[in-house]
Amino acid sequence: MTTSQSDPAGHPADRGDRRPQTLLLLGATGDLAERLLLPGLGRLVATGAHPNLHVLGSGVDVWDDERWRRRVADAFAAAGATGPRVKEVVRTTCYLPADVTKEEDLRRLLSNCHDQLVIFFALPPAITARAAAAFTQIGLPPGTRLMLEKPFGTDAVSARSLNEVLARLVPEEQIYRIDHFLGKSTVMNILGLRFANRIFEPMLSAAHVACVDIVFDETLGLAGRAGYYDGAGALIDMVQSHLLQVLALIAMDAPPTLDARDLRGRKAQVLRATRVWAEDPATWSRRGRYTAGEANGQRLPGYADEPGVDPSRGTETFAELVLCVDTWRWAGVPFRLRTGKGLAARRKEAVVTFKQPPRVPSGLIGYDQPDRLRIGFGPDRLGLDVNINGPGNPLELSQVHLVADFGPGDLPPYGEVLRGAFDGDPTLSVRGDTAEDCWRIVAPVLECWRAGAVPLREYPAGSWGPEDSLLTPVPGMATEG
C-alpha cells in the first residue's frame, strides 16, 4: 500500500512518520482487546517498525498498571510477539480507569497523552457515539487519529450522525473505521489476483459469470459473546460489514493505484450500486437460529439457552441474502451472501461460478458442472474448478480442482489495520460514506425481518443451516470440518 496523497475531499493526508505515538485504547479490559487487538499490536510492535510507541489502556474496570501489564504481556506472548521493543511496550504501558462518556474523565486521559495520539474505540456503538460527542466538548490534540471498531453505528441514521460528530473532531483521513477483513492478506490478495493477471479480469462480468457466492460458515457458536452478539445478530455482525467489503473488492473496477483515494473510491462506487435482489427482501433473504447440537465435535447448547441471550429478541445466528450490483459490468448477476454460526463445517470462501459454455460439442460427454473460481479465506487458497478429460475415454469429461495456497501475511489482521493508523494510511479502513451505504444495503432486510415477513427458522447446531436456505452447498466445494 502506498500512503494516500489526499482524502476524497482533497485534504492532504497525514503522512506516516516516526515521531513518538501514544495508542490510547478505550475498552482495554474487554474481549476484543484481549483476543484480537493486543495480539495484533504485539506482532506489529515486534517488527520494530514503530519504535516510539507508548500504550495507554483505559476501561471502566478499576485495574492498576500491574494487572494491565500482565494482560498485555500475556496477549503479546500468546501471539508469539517477542523482542526488546515488545518488552519495552509492556514495561512502559499504563492503565487509567475512566468513564469515557464523561468529559472530566476524557480530559484526565488526554492529559496523560503527550505524543501524537491514536485513539482506538474498542467499545459498543452507543458508547462510542457518546464518547465521541464528549470529545467534541473538550477537543483533541492536532493530528489525532481515531480508530473505530465495527459495527459503525447501529443503522444508517446513527452512522450518519456519528460521521457528523467525528467530522467535528478530525478530518476524514484521520478516521479509521475498522473492518479487520481488510487486514486479512487473502482478502487483499483479491486485488493481485484480479488486476495483476490477464486471465481472470476479462471474465469477471455478467457476460461470463452466472453468480457470485460469498460464504462465511463457522462451526463455532456464540463463544461467550452474548453481550455484543445478541444485540447484533449475523446480518449486522458479518454481512453489513465484512462480507460487503469482500463483495466490493470482487465487484469493483480496477483502481489506477492502491492508494486510499483510488481504492476506497472504487469500492464506494460499487457499493452505491448494490441493493437487495429485485428489491424484495422477503423473497431473497433467510434467517435462522441454531438449536442444541454438535458442531465440529463441540457440543453446543441452543443459542436461545446460551448465558446472556434474551431469546425474545429473536437474534439470528444465520443470515443469507441475495444482492444485485446494478452496474454495466454486473447487472443480472446474483451476489449471494451467506454466514452462520454452529454450522456443519467451516466454509469461508468467495466462489465465482461461470456460465456454461455456449455449446459443449456433442461427442464430449459427461459435462455437468460449470467452471468456478474460488478464493478461500481460511484456509487461504485459490482454487479453480475446470472440466478436463478424465482418465480412460479421452472424450469423457471430469472436473478437477486446481489449488494454490496464498502466502501468509506477515501480520495478523488487527496488526495490519493498526499499522495503517500508525502510518497515517487509511487505505484499509472504511470511508464514512461507505459505512453509511453498507447500512443502506441491509436496511430493507432488517426492516422486513423485524416486521416478521421472513420467519426465524431453527437449525440444529452441526447441520447445514435452515432447510429453506437459499444457498445449498455447491457440489465439490472445499470445506474444512
Contacts of ligand BG6 in 398-437 (CB under 6 A) = none
Q: Which is nearer to ligand BG6, 226 or 400 (CB)?
A: 226
3-state helix, strand, coil in the chain (%, to 5): 35, 25, 40
In angstroms, give the least distance from the CB of 332 to ligand BG6. Answer: 31
Contacts of ligand BG6 in 74-103 (CB under 6 A) = none
242 carries an active-site annotation: yes
In angstroms, give the least distance from the CB of 435 to ligand BG6. Answer: 15
Task: Tell me which DSSP letter residue 280 carries.
Answer: -
- State yes or no: residue 217 binds ligand BG6 (CB under 6 A): no
Q: Which is nearer to ligand BG6, 26 or 236 (CB)?
A: 236
In angstroms, give the least distance from the CB of 171 to ligand BG6. Answer: 27
Q: To the nearest 10°, report the CA torsion of 160, 164, 165, 166.
A: 100
> Can you count the helices (H) and strands (E) in the chain?
14, 19
In angstroms, give the least distance from the CB of 223 to ligand BG6. Answer: 8
Q: Which is nearer to ligand BG6, 166 or 232 (CB)?
A: 232
Burial of 294 per CB tally in 10 Å (0-12, 13-18, 19+): middle
Phi, psi of 340 (to 5 degrees): -170, 160
Residue 230, classed as helix, strand or coil, is coil
In angstroms, give the least distance from the CB of 187 to ligand BG6. Answer: 10
- State yes or no: residue 237 binds ligand BG6 (CB under 6 A): yes
User: Would strands 318-325 and 334-340 be described as parallel, antiparallel, or unpaired?
Assistant: antiparallel
The residue number whose beta carbon is nearest to ligand BG6 equals 237
Binding residue count for ligand BG6, defined by CB under 6 A: 3
Helices 244-251/185-195 angle, 10° precision: 20
**Looking at the DSSP assignment, which residues form a beta bridge with residue 118?**
23, 145
In angstroms, give the least distance from the CB of 238 to ligand BG6. Answer: 6
Q: Which is nearer to ligand BG6, 36 or 470 (CB)?
A: 36
In angstroms, give the least distance from the CB of 374 to ligand BG6. Answer: 17
Q: Which is nearer to ligand BG6, 218 or 425 (CB)?
A: 218
Bond from prior residue into 12 cis (ω within 30 degrees of 0): no
Q: Which is nearer to ligand BG6, 93 or 317 (CB)?
A: 317
Enumerate the H helices of 146-273 as residue ranges. 156-169, 185-195, 226-229, 234, 244-251, 260-272
Record the cell numbers describing residue 230, joined without a space. 445478541
Q: Which is nearer to ligand BG6, 48 or 378 (CB)?
A: 378
Task: Tell me which DSSP letter residue 254 carries.
Answer: P
- List Cα–Cα distances, 391 to 379, 387, 397, 398, 399, in angstroms: 29, 12, 9, 9, 11
- State yes or no: residue 380 binds ligand BG6 (CB under 6 A): no
Contact 369, 446 (CB under 8 A): no
Buried b (16+ CB within 10 A) or exposed e, 364-376: eeeeebbbbbbbb
Contacts of ligand BG6 in 460-479 (CB under 6 A) = none
In angstroms, give the least distance from the CB of 296 to ligand BG6. Answer: 14
- State yes or no: residue 218 binds ligand BG6 (CB under 6 A): yes
Record the cell numbers describing residue 183, joined without a space. 487486514
In angstroms, give the least distance from the CB of 225 to ligand BG6. Answer: 7
Distance in angstroms (rounded) separating the CA atoms of residues 26 and 59: 6
**Looking at the DSSP assignment, which residues form a beta bridge with residue 344?**
none
Q: Sheet containing 145-148: give its strands across.
A: 94-97, 53-59, 21-26, 116-121, 145-148, 175-178, 429-430
Q: Which is nearer to ligand BG6, 179 or 436 (CB)?
A: 179
Catalytic residue among 50, 54, 180, 242: 242
Q: Which is nearer to ligand BG6, 4 or 186 (CB)?
A: 186
* Alpha-carbon 121 to chain mean position: 16
Residues that bind ligand BG6 (CB under 6 A): 218, 237, 378
So which residues are the catalytic ones?
Answer: 242
